[in-house]
């Protein structure tokens, strides 16, 4: 179970890494690769027929988190925590 700090309208992360709104897809993938022992089961969802018209989604299925990226500029636009039983959130 991930133990993460929430900064409303800005980010989700911990001492080692942080997902920040507006960050590029490549930077997010680098974080996921570096911390693959902690963050597992990443599902990539996109439209094969029209990839530039639908958001690209990185679904962290083990942790109940979805990261939605703008299809055109590939920047993080939404951080969605959809299963609160799989993650521990802190808010200061």
Tens of pLDDT, residue by residue over 32-75, are 999 999 999 999 999 999 888 999 999 999 999 999 999 999 99
Domain ranges of the chain: 3-91
Query: What's the angle, vertex CA 22, arms to CA 19 and CA 28, rounded to 5?
Result: 40
Residue 92 clears pLDDT 90, i.e. is over it: no
Identify the DSSP state of 75.
B
- Mean pLDDT score across all residues of the chain: 95
Residue 8 clears pLDDT 90, i.e. is over it: yes
Contacts of 87 (CB under 8 A, 6+ apart): 1, 2, 4, 63, 64, 65, 81
Residue 23 clears pLDDT 90, i.e. is over it: yes
Round to whole Å and give the CA distance between 24 and 10.
14
Please say whether the beta carbons of 19 and 67 come within 8 A: yes
3-state SS assignment for residue 27: helix
């Amino acid at each position: 179970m991930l133990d993460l700090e929430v900064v409303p309208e800005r980010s989700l992360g911990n001492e080692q890494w942080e997902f920040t709104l507006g960050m590029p897809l490549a930077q997010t993938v680098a974080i996921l690769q570096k911390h693959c022992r902690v963050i597992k089961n990443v599902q990539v969802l996109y439209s094969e027929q029209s990839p530039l018209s639908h958001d690209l989604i990185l679904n962290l299925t083990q942790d109940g988190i979805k990261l939605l990226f703008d299809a055109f500029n590939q920047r993080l636009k939404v951080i969605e925590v959809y299963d609160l039983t799989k993650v521990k959130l802190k808010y200061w």
